[in-house]
Amino acid sequence: MKIEELERWAFLLTLTLVSCLFLYLIKPFFASILWACIIAILFYPMQIRLQEKLNIHTNVITLITLIVCIFLVVIPVLLLLTSFVQQGIFIYQRIDAGEIQPELYIDKIRQTFPMAQEFLENIGIEIASLRENVTKAALATGSFLTKNAYAVSVGTFNFLLELALMLYIAFFLLRDGKKLIEKLIYVIPLGDERERLLFRKIAGAARATVKGNFVVALVQGTLGGFIFWVLDVPAPILWGGVMAVLSLIPAVGAGLIWLPVAIYFYADGQWTTASILTTYGILVIGLADNILRPLLVGRDTKLPDWMVLLSTLGGLALFGINGFVIGPLIAVLFVAFWQIFGEDFNSYN
């Protein structure tokens, strides 16, 4: 083996090792880096427009963009989280005092709809264990919120540290992101045109996924909380927040909350209330997902609906809450690489 070839392979091996070590080093800050990148992608067009209109230093423009981001995104999320926790504690206190007994709701549904009990038993779910687990889960969740109310609503030191780190990284990505992309294009050996195409697809997919899912979650959570408030369901903000989070799961989402509530209303003899909630859930909450998600996510990512669903579910299963972004990004990269391969292969024939 020639010395030059040995040196090249040794360098590549060392480069790979150092890169893996660096990635392992920053692994604890993965979420902060991911959301800093997303903030940079989402708010970069705003920064460009500000630079065109305001003849001031780039650092000042970037700082203004971040401040806008804080007021539009960070503060509203913290306020909603505070209300969410407060209503969660309120529900827990009522359960702990015996004013709300989750097992009684299950018993009422079982007595009114015996076929539901047979169905659950056929798929291996025992009513007794379900009653016990629901009560334990409600008490455990409420107890956690009560013991950590200040930490959850205001923010722990670690949360504030990650938030500050995210904004700090986002500042430099907004300011120097274009230069960083050019450096990556320079060092990655895939061909400049291919790399530019991949970066454009990644940016478009991230922007569409976050904006689309955020809008869908906001709309479904608001619609769900509103109908719960109208029907006098306890803690509508809490359940609206839960529906907003669950709406990240396409085709299922908010139905995991409003459908059991509607079933309970039927079991309790409140047929009018149950019918209103069922109709509203199907025609309003459900259609909001079926109409908005394909328009905001599938269209911009250029992914079919079934691939958006599978990639989102797979991302959530593998990466947790961050997976609703990571999953579609991986799917976009998968499609993009095969498109590039197909174009290159056909060009050789």
For 87-135, the pLDDT digits (tens) are 766 666 666 666 665 666 666 656 665 555 554 555 555 555 555 555 5
**Structural domains of the chain, count:** 2
Mean of pLDDT over the chain: 77
pLDDT in the model for residue 328: 82
User: Within a domain: residue 22?
Assistant: no
Mean pLDDT, rounded, for 75-80: 78
User: With 90 as the cut, is the pLDDT of residue 18 above it?
Assistant: yes
Higher pLDDT, 322 or 40: 40
Residues 255 and 279 in one domain: yes
Which of residues 169, 187, 205 is at a domain's end?
187
Highest mean pLDDT among 34-43, 132-141, 189-198, 287-296: 34-43
Question: Residue 130's closest CA among 101, 148, 106?
Answer: 106
Name the DSSP class of 133. H
Residues 92 and 143 in one domain: yes
Sign of CA dihedral 286, 288, 289, 291: positive
Higher pLDDT, 153 or 237: 237
pLDDT in the model for residue 108: 61
Residues 349 and 294 in one domain: yes
Residues 177 and 197 in one domain: no
Which of residues 187, 205, 227 is at a domain's end?
187
User: With 50 as the cut, is the pLDDT of residue 249 above it?
Assistant: yes
Residues 38 and 162 in one domain: yes
Supply 116's token pair. 């539901």
User: Within a domain: residue 171?
Assistant: yes
Higher pLDDT, 135 or 270: 270
Residues 125 and 222 in one domain: no
Check if the beta carbon of residue 243 is closer than 8 Å to that of residue 257. yes
pLDDT in the model for residue 105: 60
The lowest-confidence range among 22-36, 139-153, 268-282 is 139-153
Supply 258's token pair. 């409003």
Residues 217 and 338 in one domain: yes
Angle value at C-alpha 65, between 61 and 68, nearest 5 degrees: 140
CA 269 – CA 302 distance, rounded (Å): 46
User: With 50 as the cut, is the pLDDT of residue 237 above it?
Assistant: yes
pLDDT in the model for residue 178: 85
Sign of CA dihedral 323, 324, 330, 333: negative
* Residue whose token pair is 């690489």: 337
pLDDT in the model for residue 22: 92
Residues 170 and 42 in one domain: yes
Check if the beta carbon of residue 20 is closer than 8 Å to that of residue 186. no
- pLDDT band with cut points at 50, 70 and 90 for residue 151: very low
User: Within a domain: residue 2?
Assistant: no
The lowest-confidence range among 86-90, 188-192, 199-203, 322-326 is 86-90
- pTM above threshold 0.85: no
Residues 156 and 218 in one domain: no
Residues 174 and 89 in one domain: yes
Phi-psi region of 124 (alpha: psi -120 to 50; beta: other; left: phi over 0): left
Question: Residue 32's closest CA among 209, 180, 163?
Answer: 163
pLDDT in the model for residue 300: 59
Burial of 10 (0-12, 13-18, 19+ CB in 10 A): exposed
CA 111 – CA 116 distance, rounded (Å): 9
- pLDDT band with cut points at 50, 70 and 90 for residue 149: very low
Which of residues 163, 187, 211 is at a domain's end?
187
pLDDT in the model for residue 153: 46
User: Within a domain: residue 112?
Assistant: yes
User: Within a domain: residue 315?
Assistant: yes
Supply 333's token pair. 């990269």
Residues 249 and 292 in one domain: yes
User: Within a domain: residue 159?
Assistant: yes
Supply 266's token pair. 């039927």
User: Within a domain: residue 33?
Assistant: yes
User: With 70 as the cut, is the pLDDT of residue 229 above it?
Assistant: yes
CA 184 – CA 187 distance, rounded (Å): 5
Mean pLDDT, rounded, for 75-95: 71
Task: Give Rg (Cα) of the chain.
Answer: 25
Question: Residue 236's closest CA among 95, 83, 73, 75?
Answer: 83
Question: Residue 235's closest CA among 159, 141, 155?
Answer: 141
pLDDT in the model for residue 156: 58
Residues 43 and 139 in one domain: yes
pLDDT in the model for residue 242: 81
Question: Residue 246's closest CA among 314, 187, 324?
Answer: 324
User: Within a domain: residue 12?
Assistant: no
Domain extent at residue 337: 191-349
Sign of CA dihedral 154, 160, 164, 167: negative
Q: Percentage of the chain with pLDDT > 70?
A: 73
Highest mean pLDDT among 30-44, 119-133, 187-201, 303-317: 30-44
